[in-house]
Amino acid sequence: MTQRDIAKKLGRDPAWVSRALSGPRNWTMRTLGELAHALEGHVTIGVRAVEDMAEGQESAGRGLRPVQDSGAGEAI
């Protein structure tokens, strides 16, 4: 499927699709859903406790890492 095909399904300009898919964006839930629908896919959103994150794994887009409790107080 081309970007032009996606634009046609969304009723958007192909340039908008190109910008949206060219790099990180702060998409709304509506935009994410529209893109998933146009690509004949679906969106799954999950929440995991920081304690369940693998060592060294970053949270998408925020650079957050699990905090190790040093024993000097509460982990933030």
C-alpha dist (Å) from residue 66 to 20, 22, 60: 30, 29, 13
Q: Which residues, at least 6 apart from 32, have a Cβ–Cβ distance to it below 8 Å? A: 43
Q: Which residue has the higher pLDDT, 40 or 71?
A: 40
pLDDT of residue 4 exceeding 90, the answer is yes
Q: Please enumerate in sequence order all residues whose Cβ is within 8 A of that of 66, keeping only pairs 6 or more positions apart, or say none.
A: 50, 51, 53, 55, 57
Evaluate if pTM is beyond 0.85.
no
The CATH number covering residue 7 comes to: 1.10.260
12 lies in a domain?
Answer: yes
Structural domain boundaries, residue 7: 1-66
Say what the pLDDT of residue 76 is: 43
Q: Confirm whether 71 is domain-assigned.
A: no
19 falls within a domain: yes
Q: How many distinct structural domains can be found in the chain?
A: 1
Whole-number pLDDT of residue 54: 67
